[in-house]
Structures are given as C-alpha cells and as structure tokens.
Chains A and B, each alone.
Chain A
C-alpha cells in the first residue's frame, strides 16, 4: 500500500527509523525482581543455537515508541481513510458489525481441539456459511479451508486433477485466457499442470474459435473469471462451457470478480464445475495487509468426494467434522480455515440477506458505469460496452503528451486517493483498471472523476506536473528498479 500524508508540515517529521532513535540504556519496561533462581542460558541451550553477539534492539522509551508507530500508522491509506478504486481487488468498506461478532467469546475464545459438542455454535456457523456460499454460487458443496484466493485456485485444481485421475485419465493442460489474473497460471503450475494461453478477441472476450483449437484429450480445465478483468461479462459462457465439457475438461471459476454477479447470475448455472470466492473481496472481510484472507471453494456433485477434509456436516441436530472421506485431496490448511474471517463473511451475508446482496452488485455495476461514462470523454475507452463492476481505460492519449499511466497513478496520490490498478490486464496499452465498489457515495465518485479530469487537462497543458508527481507525499518517486535489483531487506548500523 502506498503512503500519503496531506499536510506539508508533517512531511519532514519523524523520518528516523526506530533504530536511529535508540539511546544506550534507555528502556520502556520495568520488571519486578526475579523471584526464581537464575539459570545460565548456556546451560540449557546448545551453543549452536545461541547468538554470538547481543541483538542490537532499539532502546527507546515507551512514549517514543508510541509516537513513532502512531505517526507511521497515520501514513497508511486504507478504505477507512480514503477512496481505493483498485481494480479487481474490490476494496469495499468492511462493516464494523463484522468485527463485533467475530469477537463474541463463543467464536473468539474457543479451541480447535475442543470436543464437537462444546462448539456447536461455531460448527453451525461454518455449516451454514458452506450452505450459503453454495447457494450464492450454484454449487453443491463448499469447503472453507483455503486461506486465500490463490490457495483456493490451487485447491480447486488439485480436486480437478484427482477427479481426472480417478477416471483413469491423464489430463495435464489448463487453458487460461490472456486477460486472466496472474495467479491462474501460477496455481496451475504449482498443482503440477501446464498452462496454455488462449487469446482474447478484438472485443475483449475469449476467442471461441481459438478455444476450439486448443481443447483436446489433454485438457484438464479452463480457468475463467466472469466478468473478466476488463469488467466484461463473457456472454459466450454457455458455448465456452460446452466446448470444454465436450472435450472432457472441467470449468474453473475464478471468483475475483464475483462482486458483479451476486443474486444475478451463478457460476454453477453458467456451467462451471469448481468455484472459488475471495471473502476478503466480495464478502467484506479485511483485505491486503489487514487480512488474513479466505478463499472457500465450491464444487459440483461429481467432485464432492475430492473436497478437502474435514467437512462440516449436519447429522440430526448435531454438527460435526467429517474426516471419513477416503478420496479427499486431504487437508489444505491447519484446522478449519481462517475461522475468524469466515465469521465476518457470515455476518455480512446474514446482515445483507439475498435482496441486500443483489443490491450490492447492482450498485457496484451502476457506480462503475457512471464513472466510465464520465471519464470516457477524457481518456481512451478501449472496450465501449456496459461494464460490470469495473472498467479499463487506456492512457494512450496522455502518452502522446509524454505522460504515462504510471504518472497518472502517482498524481492521484496528491489528491489523497489510492490509484487504480495499472498496467493490468496486460492486453490493454497503458491500462488503468478502476473498480469503485458499491460502498462509495456519489459525492466521492464525483470528486474522483474531477481529479481524473484535472489530471487529463494537466497532461495537455502542464505535463511536468503529472510527470513529476507526487508532490505532497512523504516521499516522492521511489527507485523501484533499484529496489527490485538490489533489495536491502535488513537494517545495518552505519558506523
């Protein structure tokens, strides 16, 4: 996350690292006199495991420590502090009621090894969340174990692999469109499968003819995000599903963009066999540095035996953990997934209800289209359709003035915004990918539109203002190339 600080006078303050503030002998603790016999550390720990020189920990007072980290925390930018239209990341507001519920002692103070009969409430919540997510996606069952979207992808692909193997088929190729998230090919590779890229057509959709050419007896699956990363709904999805199924492959739904379809369309009805959802995107659990994430995976009937174990099941009026799943791909996460996060998502789903979730998608789509139309006059719009929850612009016009998309993103920092996703998807030149989400007011959208229009005007009249941005942040442009080539990952004291 990028740091912004609006006031000039704050910029100069507190640039010292905590190590640089250190004064020998200064402490921020006072311990009582030791009331047990002291033991020499060398007598209980082998010398191989002991450090030779004492660690150079910073020595500061408690107040210095508080001020230092409070000051740093003010430099954070998050959804609670400002607009964050990071495309494909769904940086929506996380209602605070989620936090209240996650802190109920019945959820927060239980142990994963407690007997089932003493944690029936927690198990009921997991069971009902499995059921709710299955209903939302049109799948037959859902596992809550995966700790993030990418792990969900991997879990899904491992189940697809197990499914093909159980039928005695050797299928190793995963087809991924060129507009896909980078995690798709990465997950395929980690699952021991090979990726084939299929091109998009001139309108930004999967090229159906090209897909026909690449499917075959070695096709394990097609991975698709719908709406895709251009914010466009793949209208050919039914035909696409037929092509893949006829070749004997399965369809994997990347749920990154599920915020566009809640209560409107279900991957299960589109023909998908496996789905993952990012609860930290669509279902208002903390995102980014505030995680952890949660990436539940849903499957159709034919894949049920391969779900990770344990699953939460209901027998009569009791909820319990089912470990008796001989064909399961096994456990993919310690215990039962990120339980506290799943409590938050459950709270959100139950707070919103089906009608509320439908409105989420309607407003997310409305906000994106409103912004797209307002900005289309000032930036190139490479795909001119009604978009879903996000849209892409191209900075081609500004590039002619010597202003790159990176410059536009940096200039937005001066206005106190987190910039949109840039240079992704790769198939759009000088790409800006904007996702306002449903939780922003019209006023916020208008202010951001104003800022974008001002930047477009600056690009024409005073391009240097944009090229040299940001002007009002704690630091200006960082040397990303040097940081990547010669990273300094550890503080060393300069003598």
Chain B
C-alpha cells in the first residue's frame, strides 16, 4: 500500500482525515503509523456520542510492541465507530486507509481542518520521523 493517499489530510500524530461532507470527517491512523506499531492486537475507541477535542487522546491502540494513544485530529462528536475493529484490529495493519478506519466525527469547528497537513506535507514529515 502506498504511504499516503492524495485526497486525505494528515495530523502530526499520524492520523488521516477524510472529509465526507461539510460537517463530517472519517478518521484512522496512517500506513506509516501502523508500520511503526507492528501487529495490532487490541484497540479501544470512543463511544458513539462522545465528545472529542483536537490533539487530545480519544482512544488507544495496542501492538505487540507498545500501547499508543490515538489523538483526535479535530474537535467534535463521535457519530460512527468502526465496531469491526474490536474483533479484528488486524484490519488496521492490512488496510489502514480503508477497512481500518476508526471513527466518523461531526466537526465542531471546520477551521481546524486547515491546521492539518496535505499528503505531500505529511510524506515529508513522516520521512523526517523515520
């Protein structure tokens, strides 16, 4: 899988953001993030209806190597959660930008999207982290 997808936006904490419409975004972790984590064995996501704040932890992802926080790239309300991941967290390793999506967030402040990186910026950013 390619490291980035052109149409998505990215956070410094290695989350991707797909803008679905004016008020909703889909969120997951990037291909780079899942490669760094290794085989993911457990995931804890917020519940539907929960309020999340930009750059604050909204869940955790556990791999054989480590437990990491999932930081919300935007503020808003959780309107959808990928329940499949509870049983099959390996989907994040297999398809980070597809079946490995985590939540859909209803935006509290659409201006926060402007703070995120483009695919090109993120690619350069993650190269530096490597």
A residues with CB within 8 A of B: 182, 423-424, 426, 480-481, 484-485
Q: State whether B41 touches A423 (Cβ < 8 A).
A: no
Q: Is the CB of A484 within 8 A of B64?
A: yes
Of B41, B66, B89, chain A has the most CB atoms within 10 Å of the CB of: B41
**How far, in angstroms, from A424 to B89 measured CA to CA in the complex?**
23
Q: How many contacts A-B (CB < 8 Å)?
A: 18
Q: Which residues of A contact B89 (CB under 8 A)?
A: 485
Q: 8 closest A-B pairs (Cβ-Cβ)?
A: A484-B41, A481-B39, A480-B64, A423-B65, A485-B41, A481-B64, A426-B66, A481-B41
Nearest Cβ on chain B to A466's Cβ, whole angstroms: 18
Residues of B within 8 A of A484 (CB): 41-42, 62, 64
* Nearest CB in chain A to that of B56: its residue: A194
Query: In the assembled complex, how far is the CB of residue A425 from the closest CB belonging to chain B, in whole angstroms?
Result: 10
Q: How far is the CB of A55 from chain B (nearest CB, A)?
A: 31
Further contacts, 15 of them, CB under 8 A, given A423-B66, A481-B41, A485-B42: A182-B67, A423-B65, A424-B66, A426-B66, A480-B39, A480-B64, A481-B39, A481-B64, A484-B41, A484-B42, A484-B62, A484-B64, A485-B41, A485-B89, A485-B90
Residues in chain A near residue B62, CB distance under 8 A: 484
**Smallest Cβ distance from A427 to chain B, in angstroms?**
11
Chain A's closest residue to B68 (CB) is A426
Complex Cα distance, B41 from A485, in Å, reads 5
Interface string of B53-72 (1 = CB under 8 A from A): 00000000010111100000
- Which residues of B (64-87) have their CB < 8 Å from a CB of A? 64-67
Q: Please give me the residue from chain A that is nearest to B65 by CB atom.
A: A423
In the assembled complex, the CB of A66 is this many whole angstroms from the nearest CB of chain B, namely 36
B62 to chain A: closest residue by CB: A484
Alpha-carbon separation in the docked complex, A484 to B39 (Å) = 10
Shortest Cβ distance from residue A150 to the other chain B in the assembled complex, whole angstroms: 15
For this complex, into which size category does the number of interface residues on chain B fall?
Answer: 10 to 19
CA distance A209 to B17 in the complex (A): 30
C-alpha gap A418/B41 in the complex (Å) = 25
Q: B1-42 CB contact bits vs A (8 Å, 1 = yes)?
A: 000000000000000000000000000000000000001011
**Which residue on chain B has the smallest CB distance to residue A424?**
B66
Q: How far is the CB of B29 from chain A (nearest CB, A)?
A: 16
List chain B residues, Cβ under 8 A from A480.
39, 64
**Alpha-carbon gap, A481 to B94, bound state (A):** 14
> How distant is the Cα of A481 from the Cα of B65 in the complex, in angstroms?
10
Q: How far is the CA of A125 from the CA of B41 in the complex (A)?
A: 46
* Separation of A484 and B38 alpha carbons in the complex (Å): 13
Neighbouring A residues of B41 by C-beta, 8 Å = 481, 484-485
Report the nearest B residue to A185, measured CB to CB: B69
**Hey, which chain A residues are within 8 Å of B42, CB to CB?**
484-485
In the assembled complex, the Cα of A423 lies from the Cα of B63 at a distance in Å of 12
Mask, B89-102, CB within 8 Å of A = 1, is 11000000000000
- Min C-beta distance of A430 to chain B, whole Å: 11
How far apart are the CA atoms of A480 and B66 in the complex, in Å?
13
How close is B62's CB to chain A, nearest CB, in angstroms? Answer: 8
CB distance from A286 to the nearest CB of B (A): 27
Query: What is the bound-complex CA distance between A424 and B66, given in angstroms?
Result: 9
With the chains together, A182 CA to B62 CA distance in Å? 13
Q: How far is the CB of A6 from chain B (nearest CB, A)?
A: 27
Q: Which residues of B contact A182 (CB under 8 A)?
A: 67
- Chain A minimum-CB-distance residue to B57: A195
> Can you list 14 contacts pairing A with B, beta carbon distance less than 8 Å?
A182-B67, A423-B65, A426-B66, A480-B39, A480-B64, A481-B39, A481-B41, A481-B64, A484-B42, A484-B62, A484-B64, A485-B41, A485-B42, A485-B89
Task: Give the Cβ gap from A175 to chain B, nearest Cβ, in Å.
Answer: 15
Of all chain A residues, the one with the shortest Cβ separation from B130 is A429
User: Would you list which residues of chain B between 88 and 129 have a CB under 8 Å from chain A?
Assistant: 89-90
Assembly CA distance A120 to B39 (angstroms): 55
Q: How far is the CA of A484 from the CA of B66 in the complex (A)?
A: 12
Identity of the chain B residue whose Cβ is nearest the Cβ of A404 in the assembled complex: B38
Chain A residues lying within 8 Å of B66, measured Cβ to Cβ, are 423-424, 426
Least Cβ–Cβ distance between B57 and chain A, in angstroms: 8
A424–B65 CA distance with the chains assembled, in angstroms: 9
Question: Which chain B residue shows the least CB distance to A422?
Answer: B65
In the complex, what residues of B have CB within 8 A of residue A481's CB?
39, 41, 64
- A424 vs B67: C-alpha distance when bound (angstroms): 12
Residue of A nearest to B90 (CB): A485
Residues of A within 8 A of B64 (CB): 480-481, 484
A378–B29 CA distance with the chains assembled, in angstroms: 35
Please give the distance in Å from B43's CB to the nearest CB on chain A.
11
**Bound-state Cα–Cα, A182 to B66, Å:** 10
Bound-complex Cα distance A269 to B50 (A): 45
**A397 nearest CB across to chain B (Å):** 15
